[in-house]
Structure 1
Amino acid sequence: MQTYIKLNHMQIHKPLIFILLIINSFSSKLSAQHTEHNEDIIAKTPNQNSNRILSFLALGDSYTIGQGVQQKYSWPYQLKDTLSTLSVAIDTLTVIAQTGWTTNDLKNALLQKSPVPHDFVSLLIGVNNQYQKKPFTQFKKEFDDLLKQAITLAGGSKNVIIISIPDYGVTPFGSDNSLKIGRAIDKYNSYIKQKAKVEEVSFVDITNVSRSLGDAEYALAEDKLHPSNIQYRKWVELIVPVLLSKLNH
């Protein structure tokens, strides 16, 4: 005689219940194994940027110290803050820069300060050579020397980032001579970009940002010459991917 069990007002054959229990148990084990497998993959897949601690040396002039804005709004410090949100910590941020510095001034400062090697080094210099009408041949020689020093301090060309010179001809300060200034800046940046290619270092073009923003109210600091914190943030948006690509290779 067959035995039946009443369940939810339905009659189910007892052997069938046993089979269903086995299937359910097997499915549960598969599900648990699948979950453990996924968790194991997650655990074994490294976050390439997780808990990275770096040192960063920023070399330059007023554009690097952030003349006209608070230090925290200069692009090196905004870079530091942005990277922290991506699990990359700049533990040591060294800025060697000063308003009005030419390539020669920066060379002398490096001799005096003798900075220690850093994981990454940036170089943004030359606008004061142009503004002070220093010989272009002098700029080229001194820029070459500075780039060599940057490569040495960074432990290799792959850890150096050259940033282009912004066009101050679009600001009220340079509006009376904007075309001439723009052409001169292009000349300097063309040489800088060429050297970056030869030395195999990264080149970040922020000049187009300065030109696209022009003299918009939010684009400049109160002095109507130097970039605002908003413009520096846009520079950082271009620099971050370059730096992260270096970390991941």
Structure 2
Amino acid sequence: MGSKTVYKGMKVYQIAILLCMLACGGTQSPGPSAPAGTDPIEESGKPQYLALGDSYTIGQSVAPDERWPVILADELKKAGKPVATPKIVARTGWTTRNLLDALEQSPPTGTFDLVSLLIGVNNQYQGRNKEEYRIEFRQLLQQAIAYAGDDAGNLFVLSIPDWGVTAIGEGNREHIAAEIDSFNAIAKEECQKLKIVFIDITPISRKALNDPTMIASDQLHFSGKMYRLWVNEALPRVRQLF
């Protein structure tokens, strides 16, 4: 997530964790390469999957095999729809503008059979304008469609999860939830205009309020356990896309 005035009610140790996360957000790779032992020829013969996003997509504070796009690829394989190792273009702290800039500087090459997008939490976290989000999110949808061979049917969007359930959000949960809902309403509306599959995982993210194992060790992001729940929700609809 990006910078914003620290909310009231945080404990000192929570603030220290948050500042560390913000300072270190750019150190994580924007995307994993194929795992050791993967045959590039075998990978190239599979449907290609591009995952666009921020810290949730890159899996801040979880192991590579706990990233939700990686879990999704594994579940698709089990379901008889194998895809290549996901190409992940994401980084902790990215807003819609950051993702647009990254795609302009280093655009993904080739055409993808499946594309996912999860972006916007840092727009909310930084208090950025909602109309700005709408414009930039719409641009990202258009870019994602282009990466998907100009086929909106190969693209799906996950809603923004509610980080207010984490320890860092304590004391401001109602405000954060309302803001997240308003950003998600924009994303859903823009997806509906283009007939893009929109999968609402926000209610699932709120289950973490009663289950600390769904929160990552940094107390700000989600754990692999949570990401698997998102995949369980998304899988039936994603299977029908390609």
2:216 to 210, 221, 228: 221
Distance 1:56 1:109 in 2: 18
CA contact (8 A) 2:117 2:157 kept: yes
Could you say which residue in structure 2 is the equivalent of 1:165? 160
Cα deviation code 1:68-104 (max 9, x no counterpart): 1011101011111111212222124210000000000
Does the 8 A contact of 1:171 with 1:215 survive in 2?
no
Letter in 2 for 1:110: L
CA–CA separation in structure 2 for the residues paired with 1:239 and 1:102? 23
Q: What secondary structure, in the 3-state scheme, does the structure 1 residue paired with 2:170 have?
A: helix
* CA shift digits 1:86-139 (9 cap, x unpaired): 222212421000000000000011011111221111110011011111122211
Q: Does 1:67 align with 2:60?
A: yes
Q: Distance in 2 between matches of 1:246 and 1:143?
A: 21
Q: Is the 8 A contact 2:73 2:85 kept in 1?
A: no
Instruction: Say which SS state the counterpart of residue 57 (structure 1) adopts.
Output: strand
Match of 2:69 in 1: 76
8 Å CA contact 2:115–2:148 kept in 1: the answer is yes
Structure 2 distance, partners of 1:148, 1:92, is 23
Rounded Cα–Cα distance in structure 2 between residues aligned with 1:213 and 1:102: 24
- Corresponding position of 1:244: 239
The equivalent residue for 2:173 is 178
Q: What TM-score does the superposition give when structure 2 sets the normalisation length?
A: 0.78
Query: How many Å separate the matches in 2 of 1:74 and 1:114?
Result: 22
Q: Which has the higher contact order (CA 8 A, sep 6+)?
A: 2
Query: How far is the alpha carbon of 1:215 from its aligned partner?
Result: 5.1
Please give the TM-score of this superposition, normalised by the length of structure 1. 0.76
Q: What residue in structure 2 maps to residue 137 of structure 1?
A: 131
Q: Greater strand percent: which structure?
A: 1
Superposition pairs of residues 21-36 of structure 1, within 5 angstroms:
none
Q: What's the counterpart of residue 141 of structure 2?
A: 147
The number of aligned residues is 196
Q: Look up the SS of the partner of 1:115 in the other structure.
A: coil
Structure with greater proportional helix content: 1
Bigger radius of gyration among the two? 1
CA deviation map 1:22-71 (0-9, x unaligned): xxxxxxxxxxxxxxxxxxxxxxxxxxxxxx93111000000000111011
Residue pair 1:54, 1:92 contacting (<8 A) in 2 also: no
- Over 3 Å off, 4+ runs: none
Give the match for residue 229 of structure 2.
234
2-side partners of 1:228 and 1:92: how far apart?
20
1:86-97 mapped onto 2 (5 Å cutoff):
86-97=79-90
2:191 to 189, 196, 205: 196
Give the alignment's Cα RMSD to 1 decimal: 1.2
Task: Calculate percent identity across the aligned residue pairs.
Answer: 42
Distance between the aligned counterparts of 1:75 and 1:243, measured in 2?
13
Give the unaligned 5+ runs of structure 2: 1-44
Unmatched tracts of structure 1, length 5 or more: 1-51
